[in-house]
Chain A
Amino acid sequence: MKTFTFERATTPAQAAAAVAARPGARFVAGGTNLLDLMKLEIETPPHLVDVTGLGLDRIERTPDGGVRVGALVRNTDLASDRHIRRDYAVLSRALLAGASGQLRNMATTAGNLLQRTRCPYFYDTNMACNKRNPGSGCSAIGGISRQHAVVGASDACIATHPSDMAVALRLLDAKVETVKADGAQRVIPIADFHRLPGNTPHIETDLQPGELITGVTLPRPLGGTQVYRKVRDRASYAFALVSVAAVVQRDGTGRAAFGGVAHKPWRVEAAEAAMANGSAAVANRVFADARPTHDNAFKLQLAERTLAAVLAESRS
């Protein structure tokens, strides 16, 4: 690990200013992804700003009937919250499908959104990777690409976003609240928060340097039957090959978002009009622009069948 200096932030705005002031500086909270990447020297921040003392760890109702989740709420605590379990069950289920008990006790809401891809070529510093070393190429393209993106990818990067939680947040139309280095606050719809890789796969979110996530808000509960179904190579503690987050209402209408298929949680609102017509009608629309590799073409059928299972479960 490269050496770094360390400070504990006192306020969100001070934290943002401290990171903005030092090129390459990073926030740290749970540390479960960042420290792993620092040990491998994939991340080499010269300065860490510890934000765990900032509060931002409450789950509270908003005046419009929704809920606000502090950036530092741990994954276990968010999944366990009574209100979340009852009214946003898909979020609880998505969180519980991710990582291990120990990691969920450590990882935070904001950190989960900011976690980086588990593409093995991103992790292997001997390999070309435009995300780790911009301009070096992409070893995954033409490499072993079973885990990689089938839609929304580019000729520069076919990595997937690893988060389960983010798929549920995309389904629920969450908003990300931030504070910038100058103290200004803004709200970013989750759909715009993560970026597609394009020619700049190393730029993964809409955040500016030093911009700190302070919380995530959820609109009023959607009701319906809420399901998160994750398909993976082992029954627990593995990343998704494909996952589906869905809310299905009694009349068969609803929403669906997909994980494990793209550089960001993948949701095509226009396809949801076909929800009552079954999984194939939706999946054909959601994956209309898919460009799978030889290794991961199976994900298209898997995604459609997983959605079919989710729709069947919601009817039972």
Chain B
Amino acid sequence: MDNDFTQPTLNRRDLLIAGAASAAVTLPAGSAAQGTAEATPAMASVTLEVNGRSETLQCDTRTTLLDVLREHLHLTGTKKGCDQGQCGACTVLVNGRRVVSCLTLAVMQPGAKVTTVEGLSTTRRLHPMQAAFVKHDGYQCGYCTPGQICSAVGVLDEIKRGVPSHASKDLAARPVVSAAELRERMSGNICRCGAYSNIVDAMAEVAGVRV
């Protein structure tokens, strides 16, 4: 590894990958030394439609949708935060609905239409939600941003479809876009930089509402 540091072209990401690779090499030897018979990974084939393109993959049954997007398809816009469904960084749209891609397996999604942040816009222009995040400074470090944007797109669609929330005062009435509604509905997306109020402003602009 020391030699790696003398390579001037090596960036931080390459280093992280190199580190992970050497860890992966040592692992099977360690488990063999302990005599644990690790079962052979079960492989499966799955076909998904990701950002409009049909993708057929062979993967370990354990592979989450998130890992398929990042590691198999190299769509690294979708981020891995907690990997346990608590932070929302991995939010994507599956068949039009926002989900956390870390808590579903690729093999559970045959034929699914998946939209990641890379696929939100079908033109060279930004999706309106992306443009609004830029305009309103709806991020700081940017790590949670792809998940925030996918979730925000999903939220406005849910309100349009009449899906109520904990913040909806009257279950019989159609939900409206308000600051309270947007905050409640976005509570599954954590931003440790604290861009929340600007995210609400960005969403309100896309919804055409002042909050």
Dominant secondary structure at the B interface: loop
Question: Count of chain A residues with Cβ under 8 Å from any Cβ of B?
Answer: 37
B105→A35 contact, CB < 8 A: yes
Q: Which residues does chain B contribute within 8 Å of A99, judged by CB atoms?
A: 188
A99 to B100, CA, bound (A): 12
B41→A80 contact, CB < 8 A: no
B40 adjacent to chain A (CB < 8 Å)? yes
CB distance from B62 to the nearest CB of A (A): 5
A100→B187 contact, CB < 8 A: yes
B57 adjacent to chain A (CB < 8 Å)? no
A153 to B166, CA, bound (A): 30
Give the residue of A5, A97, A237 whose beta carbon is less than 8 angstroms from that of B61. Answer: A5
Question: Count of chain B residues with Cβ under 8 Å from any Cβ of A?
Answer: 45
A196 adjacent to chain B (CB < 8 Å)? no
A31→B38 contact, CB < 8 A: no
B193 adjacent to chain A (CB < 8 Å)? no
Give the residue of A35, A86, A236 whose beta carbon is less than 8 angstroms from that of B64. Answer: A35
A106→B104 contact, CB < 8 A: yes
Q: Which residues does chain A contribute within 8 Å of B115, judged by CB atoms?
A: none
B84 adjacent to chain A (CB < 8 Å)? yes
B166→A96 contact, CB < 8 A: yes
Q: Which residues does chain A contribute within 8 Å of B151, judged by CB atoms?
A: 101-102
Residue of A nearest to B62 (CB): A1
B104→A3 contact, CB < 8 A: no
**Chain A binder among B14-22, B27-35, B120-128, B156-164:** B156-164
Dominant secondary structure at the A interface: mixed
Residue of A nearest to B97 (CB): A105
* 39-59 of chain B: CB within 8 A of chain A: 39-42, 44
1/0 per residue, CB under 8 A from B, across A75-108: the answer is 0100110000110010011001101111101100
Partner-A contacts on B (CB < 8 A): 38-42, 44, 60-62, 64, 83-85, 88, 91, 97-100, 103-105, 107-108, 110, 151, 154-155, 158, 161-166, 168, 171-172, 183-189
Partner-B contacts on A (CB < 8 A): 1-6, 8, 28, 31-32, 35-36, 39, 46, 48, 50, 52, 76, 79-80, 85-86, 89, 92-93, 96-97, 99-103, 105-106, 235-237
Listed by A's residue number, 15 A-B pairs whose Cβ atoms lie within 8 Å are A3-B38, A3-B42, A5-B42, A36-B85, A46-B39, A80-B164, A85-B164, A86-B171, A96-B164, A96-B166, A100-B88, A101-B165, A101-B186, A102-B91, A106-B99
